[in-house]
Chain A
């Protein structure tokens, strides 16, 4: 331990990456660790109940995932994207000419939470691993880029992360004898899942039966399998967490803590002596004469006026997200010889389609999604168009039509005649809502250096820090993936839903994409310091004591939800840091 610094390690950001790093480093005897985070919230059950109450008493709660957290004073001083107005914080660059360019719609729509625990307060909990080809996309399909590590390099850390997050998964569907692995799509597993999969829903069983064993699209056999999830199916191994009670509210808030959030590891880290500076926004990282970064300058926004404070550490871990980490990097003037800082911003583009099943399938009960279709995540088509994952919704039509809108639609069904009311209305409403089924498509996006985070030259936040500016376009590769995914989803839906109800008004069209809320890239890892920002362990090429944890370091996006890979990489980075303590 070095006494020349205030701490051995300062971690910037208390999301999943920062929490896992802090927890793992806290197990190193004597390590002095500090987390700096803008949130002022707790990560305990009373806090969760307060958020639940806020959720219940907030109107329009289904419009976005963020309103639950919007009553916080924090939002004034450490703002983020709220999922409703994507320009309230991000400065989106003007669309390029001509004005009719369809890319004009390509706003970067990812919302996130700058609170303690980060966006894991509000996520679905889906945790598939990346597949081997995701790490060597350029070698495999001549597009995108290659990671400096392989699936095999990360596999032990996937096991580690699955154990830490508490992943419930089905070994028969995802293990080495599964169709998923035998087809060469998924990578092998060295350990079973920590828990059996979350039991699939009545709706899943009905949909699986309707698809049957013989449906093939584009040469791929359509199989609906359970999705590995960071959610407790059996808490024998996780006695501090509840089993899932099926609250149908994973986004915006799991009220029981059955679904993983970063609070799990923050609580463990605090118990081991990790400290946290709450309400603290980093205003600068300072470069020492050695090239190292030892000093974190920050302001506690609760103070009036908020003055700069300074703390030092032997090692700094930047674990904000793929927008905030490059923002800090850029306004601190850290090294950028590769010119890759802020570049290669990615998201998973989403579209979805809804229909009515011939009989009630009773979604809105259980987690918001339990199953998916994984066979389109890889194949030779990736030379020309992106891969996609498909998920079967367990929440009606999701964003296509929230139940409150169904009420309006049915109530005025007889317009201009009298409204439908009473038992007839109730029956119609139940018939519509209980038969809703939804398939969503989530596509990969290629790294593109022109998709990037920079600093706004003139727009500042409340603390006077430059707001992040985003340049973002969607290329044909991703558009084709959206079109293919929509076509496949529609083909499935038309085959199994009540054809009388397949109407334009119940089918979303992919004219525009939605966000998966998966910000990735912007501080990419790589072996060549001239082409990447950090090395294969997340260590800065230019500042040897500065590490990055989080999806910022992703080289490609895969089709997988990123959290498990964030966790695996963060644990791997933490192990590397421990060697230097």
Chain B
């Protein structure tokens, strides 16, 4: 696993930490975090920079979700950027400024979408489960 690197002035380890607070999933993959930080930084360099700058002082907070919520309450202009981060982690795509979607770059990114983990499913078309698994409820979510 990568330990994080700077992409377009983005500290991707911090980006991963912020992403965990936004998505509610611990242990997000750093390699995917690197890729997502790069994709979003390319599309939204300043908004992402602003959000990361606001996050930096609270990144050691014991309750990161509360800290991020306070950041967004104090500065609602950062909310759309937060939404993009949620979207990319849950669906591996995000919405560009012109309204078009930035698609997953790899099958691995698509398969890793948190949306499916959150509901006990697998990414469509990438099931590794046996015939009939759907007759029982999932053993756990996520």
Q: Give me the interface of A with B, judged by CB distance under 8 Å.
A: 52-53, 55-60, 199-202, 205, 233, 243-249, 253, 255, 360, 362, 364-366, 394, 403-404, 407-408, 411-412, 416-419, 421-427, 429-430, 433-434
Contacts and interface: CB of A to CB of B under 8 A. Distances in A.
7 closest A-B pairs by beta carbon, nearest first, are A366-B134, A59-B101, A426-B24, A422-B65, A59-B103, A56-B110, A423-B24
A403 B127 CA distance: 18
Nearest to A203: B134
Contacts of A418: 69, 72-73, 76, 79
Given A56-B110, A200-B135, A246 B24 contact: no
Contacts of A55: 125
Interface stretch (B2-10, B39-47, B87-95): B87-95
A55 B73 CA distance: 38
Given A199-B134, A245-B130, A426-B25, 6 more contacts: A246-B132, A365-B134, A407-B91, A418-B76, A421-B21, A421-B22
B135 to A, nearest CB: 5
A461 B42 CA distance: 39
B138 interface: yes
A365 B125 contact: no
7 contacts: A59-B104, A243-B131, A245-B130, A408-B87, A411-B83, A421-B72, A429-B90
Contacts of B129: 245-246
A510 B128 CA distance: 37
A247 B131 contact: no
A163 B46 CA distance: 61
A200 B136 CA distance: 10
Nearest to B110: A56
A55 B125 CA distance: 9
A433 B119 contact: yes
A414 B109 CA distance: 29
B137 A202 contact: yes
Given A425-B86, A430-B141, A57 B110 contact: yes
B85 to A, nearest CB: 9
Contact of A417 (B73, B124, B133, B135): B73
A429 B137 contact: no
Nearest to A232: B131
Nearest to A402: B91
B138 A362 contact: yes
A414 B132 CA distance: 39
B107 interface: yes
Interface of B: 21-25, 64-65, 68-69, 72-73, 76, 79, 82-83, 86-87, 90-91, 93, 100-107, 110-111, 114-116, 118-138, 141-142
B27 to A, nearest CB: 13
A433 B118 contact: yes
Nearest to B100: A59
Contact of A422 (B24, B83, B119, B128): B24
A362 B72 contact: no
Given A202-B135, A362-B138, A430 B69 contact: no
B54 to A, nearest CB: 13
Contact of B68 (A417, A422, A426, A429): A422
In this complex, which of A411, A422, A423 has the most chain B Cβ atoms within 10 angstroms of its Cβ?
Answer: A422
B86 A421 contact: yes
A430 B119 contact: yes
Nearest to B23: A426
A102 to B, nearest CB: 31
Nearest to B82: A419
B120 A52 contact: no
Nearest to A55: B125
A576 B8 CA distance: 69
B121 A248 contact: yes
Contacts of B105: 57
Contacts of A243: 131
